A and B are shown apart, each in its own frame.
Chain A
Amino acid sequence: MDLGFLVFQNTSEVLQAEKALRKAGWKDIRVMGPPPEVRTGCDLVIEFPLMEELKVLKILEDSGVIPEAVVPVSSPLLKPVDLYAITDFGDYLMVRAANMKITVDKNTLVIVNISGGGCPDVPYLAHEMTGKRLDEAPCPKDIGHTLCAYALQLAYEEVGKRCSP
């Protein structure tokens, strides 16, 4: 199957587009790293079946997230990290995904710390999420804008799974 990728102006638009496509039932899309010729340093693209281009673009247009370009995949795209590191501190559990770490109080499910990362929304996410319960805190995917936010989203989902009753 021929694949293409959608290029957006920034990572937050990628996250919005992914959300819109998944909501519309698209399962065979993947958030990936762009090839070197379109890389800026902190970016993602959405890989999708090229034959479905018109349908995909229609959904994105209806959602108000228009890609800057649609490009056929000619070489393998970078795969995001999918390994987690778990550290148990007794009453607290820390999960790391890539460069991002989230620590939760296992008894209250309150997020007590967020660390790691290097993009400027990391301190913003820490400010918005720390001190809140997992089910009350905003999702990094909803308020973040960068790859660090995306990594934190993965750690947030993983710690949620591990702390759920």
Chain B
Amino acid sequence: MLAIVGTVPIRDFPLTHGPLSVSGPWLEIRGNRVDINRGTPALMAAAVAASQALGKESPYGFLVGDIGHGRGSRELYHFLTEHAADHSFSVMTFHYLQPIAHWNEKVINAVLSVHRPPMLIADAGFMYAAKMSGHAQRFDLFTPDMGELAFLADENAPHPFYTRGFILHESNRAPELIARAYAHGNAARYLLVKGAMDYVADRSGILEAVSEPSVPVLEPIGGTGDTVTGIVSVLIEAGYAVPEAAAAAAMANRLAGRYAQPTPATQVMDIIKQISRALGEVLGLGVSKVTHAPLPQ
């Protein structure tokens, strides 16, 4: 089973865990309803849609309210450290959490010390903390955007806010930044870099580059990176190899974006509604048959 761990931007939302479902504009967890458009719920709703497309059981969620003070994140970190052995997950995806290096380390140690350790995926704050705590290499997949890739590539930066100016975010520098992130031990086993061109990479370099369909207006829409992470998490849990899952998720997200006919003002829920159709189409084509962009030289 897939577990997704993150926060909602509601000050007093209690620590809640349970199976996830979607009802109209709401994500539901243990009788609580939260807006899909903001934060981890977007990732979770995308994962629910992808699970439905694959005929899989719904993911399990861990959510707590946090508006940036870090109190909710600390409570959730503490809970996971204490209760890691209470559950059995094959994949765990960590998302919007206050990046706190020592808590990150405790949680990783706890979830990897169970009888059958899960595969680990990180995005957003938990990915920042994984790099900061020096445990990036214990993860199976990171899903950074280009700015976050530059941060992973800068061995001195504790947060994307401090990425040094000479490490530029341009898409055509992705191969160099990926190599640099691996050289300093700051990347997971695989990377799915989200951008105008999506890259799937490992220590050996770029494995796949996905650029079609091209929907530039997805970039300003908050949550469109989260949806990719939700889809790839489901595909990995379903048994797809990480590189194939990452390429298929990137394509499905683009296709869902195209079907939503977005403008820069579109909200992510309109794209999530299209994920089931888009993912079905991508998997129906067969991942290996989809046309990829040529790899950069």
Please report A residues at the B interface, Cβ cutoff 8 Å: 10-12, 33, 39-43, 78-83, 85, 87, 89, 92, 94, 96, 98-99, 101, 103, 105, 112-124, 126-127, 130, 144-151
Contacts and interface: CB of A to CB of B under 8 A. Distances in A.
Given A98-B147, A147-B159, A151-B160, A41 B129 contact: yes
B69 to A, nearest CB: 6
A146 B68 contact: yes
A139 to B, nearest CB: 14
Contacts, number: 171
B158 A39 contact: yes
Given A83-B165, A96-B147, A150-B161, A103 B220 contact: yes
B219 interface: yes
A33 B72 CA distance: 24
B212 to A, nearest CB: 20
B151 interface: yes
Interface stretch (B23-31, B91-99, B242-250, B273-281): B91-99
Contact of B99 (A41, A101, A123, A149): A41
Interface of B: 7-9, 35, 38-40, 66-70, 72-73, 96-102, 104, 123-129, 132-133, 145, 147-148, 151, 156-163, 165, 168-169, 216-217, 219-225, 263-267
A112 to B, nearest CB: 4
A44 B81 CA distance: 27
Contact of B162 (A78, A83, A89): A78
A79 B66 contact: no
Contact of A123 (B39, B128, B220): B39
Contacts of B67: 120-121, 124, 145
Given A42-B158, A103-B265, A130-B222, 18 more contacts: A41-B133, A41-B158, A41-B159, A43-B158, A79-B162, A85-B169, A98-B163, A113-B220, A117-B124, A118-B125, A118-B128, A119-B68, A119-B124, A123-B40, A126-B9, A145-B68, A146-B68, A150-B161
B172 to A, nearest CB: 14
B162 A41 contact: no
A120 B165 contact: no
Given A114-B222, A115-B219, A41 B101 contact: yes
13 contacts: A41-B129, A42-B100, A42-B128, A78-B156, A99-B147, A113-B220, A113-B266, A116-B225, A118-B126, A120-B67, A130-B222, A145-B67, A147-B161
B27 to A, nearest CB: 12
Contact of B222 (A12, A98, A113, A121): A113
A137 B69 CA distance: 20
Given A80-B162, A98-B161, A113-B220, A122 B96 contact: yes
Contacts of B123: 118
A101 B220 contact: yes
B220 A148 contact: no
A145 B9 CA distance: 12
Given A94-B219, A127-B38, A120 B9 contact: yes
Nearest to B65: A120
Contact of A126 (B38, B100, B265): B38
A11 to B, nearest CB: 8
Contacts of A79: 162
- A-B residue pairs, 6 tightest by C-beta: A121-B68, A123-B39, A145-B68, A118-B124, A124-B9, A112-B265
Contacts of A148: 161
Contacts of A117: 124
A115 B96 CA distance: 13
Given A40-B100, A119-B125, A146-B68, A89 B220 contact: yes
Contacts of A39: 101, 132, 158
Given A42-B159, A78-B157, A92 B263 contact: yes
Nearest to B148: A99
